[in-house]
Amino acid sequence: MTFDKEQQKIAFTLFVVGLVAATMLALVDKWTAGPIAEAQRQALHQSLEQVLPEHSNDPLKDMFLFPIAKEENIKIFPAKDKKGDVIAYAWEQIAPDGYSGTIRILMGVRVSGEIAAIRVTFHKETPGLGDGIIKNKTWLNAFIDKTLTNATWLVKKDGGDFDQFTGATITPRAVVKTVHKGLVFYKKNQVDMLKRAYTVAMKSNEEGGKK
Amino acid sequence: MPSKEETLNKQDIFNDGFWFNNAIFAQLLGMCPLLGVTTTAENGFWMGLATLAVLLCSNLIVSLVRGFIPDEVRIPAYIVIIASLVTVVELAMNAWMHDMYLILGLFIPLIVVNCAILGRAEAFASKNNVSDSLVDALGMGLGFTFALLLLGGVRELLGQGELFGFNILGDAYPDVLLFILPPGAFIALGFILAGVNVINQRLQAKKDAVLQAEKQGAAQNV
Residue A28 C-alpha, separation from nearest chain B C-alpha, in angstroms? 7
Over residues B53-78, the mean pLDDT reads 89
Q: How far is it, in rounded angstroms, from Cα B51 to Cα B151?
A: 16
The values of phi and psi at residue B185, to 5°, are -65, -45
**Partner residue opposite A14 with nearest CB, options B73, B106, B159:** B73
Query: How many C-beta neighbours within 10 Å does residue A114 have?
Result: 18
Confidence class for position A207, pLDDT limits 50, 70, 90: low
Interface check A32 vs B, CB under 8 A: yes
Q: Which stretch of DSSP H or E encloses residue A79? A: strand A72-80
Over residues B12-17, the mean pLDDT reads 84
Contact A127 B40 (CB under 8 A): yes
Q: How far is it, in rounded angstroms, from Cα A84 to Cα A62?
A: 11
Q: pTM for the full model?
A: 0.76
**Contact, A151 vs A161, CB < 8 A?**
yes
pLDDT in the model for residue A177:
94
pLDDT in the model for residue B2:
42
Contact B40 A10 (CB under 8 A): no
pLDDT in the model for residue A183:
93
Q: How far is it, in rounded angstroms, from Cα A159 to Cα A167?
A: 18
Using CA coordinates, name the residue in chain A closest to B107. A124
pLDDT in the model for residue B7:
59
Give A98-142 as a 3 state SS string: ECCEEEEEEEEEECCCCEEEEEEEECCCCCCCCCHHHHCHHHHHC
In terms of Cα–Cα distance, which of B94, B112, B123, B109 is closest to B27? Answer: B123
Report the sign of the C-alpha dihedral through residues A26, A31, A34, A37, in that order. negative
Interface check A26 vs B, CB under 8 A: no
User: Does residue B133 register a pLDDT over 70?
Assistant: yes
Contact B91 A40 (CB under 8 A): no
Q: How far is it, in rounded angstroms, from Cα A67 to Cα A96?
A: 20
Q: How far is it, in rounded angstroms, from Cα B215 to Cα B220?
A: 9
Q: How far is it, in rounded angstroms, from Cα B72 to Cα A192?
A: 66
DSSP of A126-188? PTTTTTHHHH-HHHHHTTTT--SSSS--SBGGGTSSB--BTTBSHHHHHHHHHHHHHHHHHHH
* Alpha helix positions (H), chain B: 10-15, 31-37, 41-65, 74-96, 98-104, 115-120, 130-160, 182-221
Averaged confidence pLDDT in chain A: 87
Residue A26 C-alpha, separation from nearest chain B C-alpha, in angstroms? 10
In terms of Cα–Cα distance, which of B150, B157, B37 is closest to B103? Answer: B37
| More confident: B221 or B125 | B125
Over residues A129-145, the mean pLDDT reads 86
Q: How far is it, in rounded angstroms, from Cα B38 to Cα B192?
A: 14
Q: How far is it, in rounded angstroms, from Cα B222 to Cα A129?
A: 68
Averaged confidence pLDDT in chain B: 84
**Contact, B35 vs B185, CB < 8 A?**
yes
**Which residues lie closer than 8 Å to A186 by C-beta, 6 or more apart?**
A89, A109, A113, A193
Interface check B126 vs A, CB under 8 A: no
In terms of Cα–Cα distance, which of B199, B176, B200 is closest to B188? Answer: B176
**Contact, B79 vs B87, CB < 8 A?**
no
* CB-based burial, B152-162: b 16+ in 10 Å, e otherwise: bbbbbbbbbbb
Q: For A42-79, how does the pLDDT look when each residue is reduced to its tens digit (9 = 90+)?
A: 988 999 999 999 888 888 888 888 888 778 888 999 99
Interface check B166 vs A, CB under 8 A: no
- Looking at this predicted complex, what is its ipTM? 0.71
Q: For A147-176, how does the pLDDT look when each residue is reduced to its tens digit (9 = 90+)?
A: 999 889 999 888 889 988 877 889 999 999
Q: For B103-122, how does the pLDDT look when each residue is reduced to its tens digit (9 = 90+)?
A: 777 778 888 878 888 888 88
Interface check A9 vs B, CB under 8 A: yes
